[in-house]
Structure 1
C-alpha cells in the first residue's frame, strides 16, 4: 500500500498528511532520547517521613517498598520483634540500591519493635520515630492477624487477642500519629482494613476478623471527620485476596480453597501484593489531599457481586 502527502481543506486552513517514512524518521529521532517517566508531582513522597506497622513482612513490607520507590528516604518499620524489623529495614535499603543511583547513606530506614496492642508500646515507638526524624507525615496501620474458627469454637482469649491487635492497635497507632501530626500542620493516616469489612467471604469461618475489619473501616471514617479541620486525613485501604508469602504457603496445601477464592472473584485471580502499591502511595501522598474518611477497595471486584 502506498501513501502520499496531500492537503485537505478545513475552512481556510489545511491538514497535512505526511508520508509514513517521514513519521518514522521523526519518531526515531525522538525515541533515541531517553526520557524520564513523567509522574504527577503530588504522588511523590520525597521529603516525607513515613511509618508502617506490621512491616517486617507481608503487605506492610510491600507498602514500605512502594514508599521508597516513590521517593521516601525517611522510613520507620514497626513490628512486634525489633530484630525482625531491623533486618527488614536493612533488606529494603539493600534492595533499593540495586540497579539504582541510590546509595545506602541516601536512605534512613529504621526498624523498631512495637506491640500495637499495647498503648504504651505504641507511644514509645512514636517517641523514637520523632527523636530520629523530628516529624511524621504519613502513617500506615498495617499490623493485623486473622484466624479461622467457627463461632461456637472460637476461644475467647483468641478473640480478645485479635481485637487487641486489629482494632485497638489501629486506634492506638492512629491516635499517636495524630498527636504528632497536628502540631506540624497535618498528615496522612491509612488504616488497613479488608474487603471482609463489606462482605462475608466464604468458605472460611472468621466472624471476629470480619467484624474487626468493619470496625477499622468505620474508625477511619470517624477519625477522619474528627480531625478533618486539624489537617489530619484518615482513610482506609481494603485489600481482597492477596498472594502474600504466608497465603501462598497455606494455599499450597489447599488448592481447592484457592480455586474457590478465584472463582468468586470477578477477575478470576488473586491479587499480587504489589497491586496495592498505587493505592497506598495515593493515600499517603498529597495526591489525596482532599480525601478523608474514605475507603479504597482493591479486591478484583469481589465485593461488587
Structure 2
C-alpha cells in the first residue's frame, strides 16, 4: 500500500464524491489532510470520518474562485503543519444540458470561475508552499470531456480543456524544481453529481452504461486509486500527464 507518512495533503472539493474519497484514502495512507470546500457541514463530516480511522485532518471553508480564500487555505495549512507535499485540486461544478442560445453569462462565469480560475488560484498558492520543502505532487481533476466534445455542455467542456492546458503548462514550468503536476480525467463515476444528472431516470442510467466499453459506471475509489499513484513516488517520472479513468470511453 502507498504510504504518505509525514506528508501533508490539501484536497479541494473534499466535501463529497471523489474529493471526499480521496481525502479519506490519503488519511488511510498516513498523510495529514486539509479538506477544503464550500459546505461546512459536509466538510466537517469528512473530517469526522478521517478522525474515526485515526487520521489527522482539519477543514477550511473555501471558495476556490476567490483568491483570498485560497490564500487563507494554504496559510492555515502551513501554520498547522509547516509544509505542503500533495495537492488534489478537485473542486468543480457541472453544467445543465441546454441549447447554446439558452446558456447564460452567469452560467459561463460560474463554471469558469470554479473549474478554471479555481485550479489556477490553487496552483498559484500551492506551488510556493511546496517549494519551501523541496517539491511536491499536484493532481488536477479534469474530465473525459476535457479531451473530447459533448453536445449541450460546451462551457463545461471548455473549462475542462482549459485545466488540461494548465496542467501541462505548469508541469513544464516546475519540472526541474521538484514539483510534478498531473491530471486525472474521470469518466462516468457514481457520485452525487451523476445522481443529480440522472435522478430517478433508470433508462438514462442504463443508456450511459451502454456507452462504456466496460458496461458499467465507475466508482470514486477507482479514480482515487489513480490519484494516489500520481501523488506517490511510484510515478516519480510522470509529469504533465492526464490519466483517464473512464472504462474505455475515450478509446472508442
Counting only pairs closer than 5 Å after superposition, residues 259-278 of structure 1 correspond to structure 2 as: 259-278=206-225
Q: Please provide the CA RMSD for this pair.
A: 1.4
User: Within 2, Cα distance between the matches of 1:277 and 1:80?
Assistant: 21
2:238 to 277, 291, 296: 291
Question: What residue in structure 1 maps to residue 88 of structure 2?
Answer: 140
2:24 to 40, 62, 65: 65
Deviation readout 1:214-239 (Å, 9 max, x if unpaired): 11011100000011111111000000
Q: CA deviation at 1:112?
A: 0.5
User: Within 2, Cα distance between the matches of 1:81 and 1:71?
Assistant: 25
DSSP 3-state at the match of 1:210 = helix
Q: Which of these two proteins has the greater Rg computed from alpha carbons?
A: 1
**8 Å contact 1:83–1:113 — kept in the other structure?**
no
User: Within 2, Cα distance between the matches of 1:208 and 1:174?
Assistant: 22
1:175 aligns with 2:103: no
**8 Å contact 2:18–2:224 — kept in the other structure?**
no
Change (3 A) 1:185 1:165: same
Question: What residue in structure 2 maps to residue 240 of structure 1?
Answer: 187
Question: What residue in structure 2 maps to residue 46 of structure 1?
Answer: 5
DSSP 3-state at the match of 1:296 = strand
DSSP 3-state at the match of 1:293 = coil
User: Within 2, Cα distance between the matches of 1:241 and 1:215?
Assistant: 20
TM-score of the two chains, using structure 2 as the length reference = 0.95
Deviation readout 1:96-118 (Å, 9 max, x if unpaired): 2xxxxxxx4xx221001111001
Question: What residue in structure 2 maps to residue 92 of structure 1?
Answer: 50
**8 Å contact 1:190–1:235 — kept in the other structure?**
yes
TM-score of the two chains, using structure 1 as the length reference = 0.79
Deviation readout 1:56-110 (Å, 9 max, x if unpaired): 11110011122122232x110000134432232112222x2xxxxxxx4xx2210
User: Within 2, Cα distance between the matches of 1:287 and 1:272?
Assistant: 22
**8 Å contact 1:220–1:293 — kept in the other structure?**
yes
1:154 aligns with 2:112: no
Query: Is 78-87 or 171-180 further displaced after alignment?
Result: 78-87
Aligned length: 251
Question: What residue in structure 1 maps to residue 14 of structure 2?
Answer: 55
Change (3 A) 1:47 1:222: same
User: Within 1, Cα distance between the matches of 2:195 and 2:63?
Assistant: 26
User: Within 1, Cα distance between the matches of 2:220 and 2:40?
Assistant: 23
Deviation readout 1:238-264 (Å, 9 max, x if unpaired): 000001134235424222221221111
User: Within 1, Cα distance between the matches of 2:62 and 2:196?
Assistant: 26
1:81 aligns with 2:39: yes
Question: What residue in structure 2 maps to residue 191 of structure 1?
Answer: 140
**8 Å contact 2:70–2:122 — kept in the other structure?**
yes
DSSP 3-state at the match of 1:123 = helix
**Can you give the 5+ residue segments of structure 2 that lack an aligned partner in the other structure?**
none
